Amino acid sequence: MDQVRIARFIDLQEAQIATGLLQSRGLTVYLQNEQLGALDFLIRQAIGGFGLWVRQDEVALANAVLSEATAGPIELEPDDEMEPDPYAPVGPAQGWVAITLVFLAWLFGAALFWTVAISVRLRRLPGSVSLSGIALASAAVLGGTLAAMLLLNFLLKQHLAY
């Protein structure tokens, strides 16, 4: 049987939702360019988006199903007994505070380890190996990373505690 293109979509998710909706109603559907269009937005533009094809004898039903799905917004009833989600994403302001605190902890740890490494280098105890600049920088980065990880661990435990 011949197939007819009934819709074009530029958004892959929207095309897949429409395809799933039609398939759930028992229609035979083909989504054109699904694999190629998923690669890149510019390729998607060049090939004209995603074509939604159905059999010739199912065109009227497919159009009715799609028009029913896009008729308007779905009215949801508010749920008064909804509890806040403890795993909800952190708000933008809290996120920047956490990032700033982690960065400051990294700086503090790096400075602390740098100071300790410099003092060990200046002492040069007999029989000890002198520290090179790379070792000093590595110690500073290690200290900063350790301090940042400890603070991040603390912040995540505070956020996930409920």
Ordered by start, the domain boundaries in the chain are 3-69, 92-160
CB 55 within 8 A of CB 128: no
pLDDT band per the 50, 70, 90 thresholds, residue 95: low
37-51, 84-98, 145-159: range with lowest mean pLDDT? 84-98
* Site of tokens 């988006």: 49
pTM for this prediction: 0.45
CA distance 15 to 17: 5
- The CATH architecture of the domain made up of 3-69 is 2-Layer Sandwich (3.30)
CB 156 within 8 A of CB 101: no
What does the chain come to in residues?
162
DSSP symbol at 72: S
Select the more confidently predicted residue: 102 or 16.
16
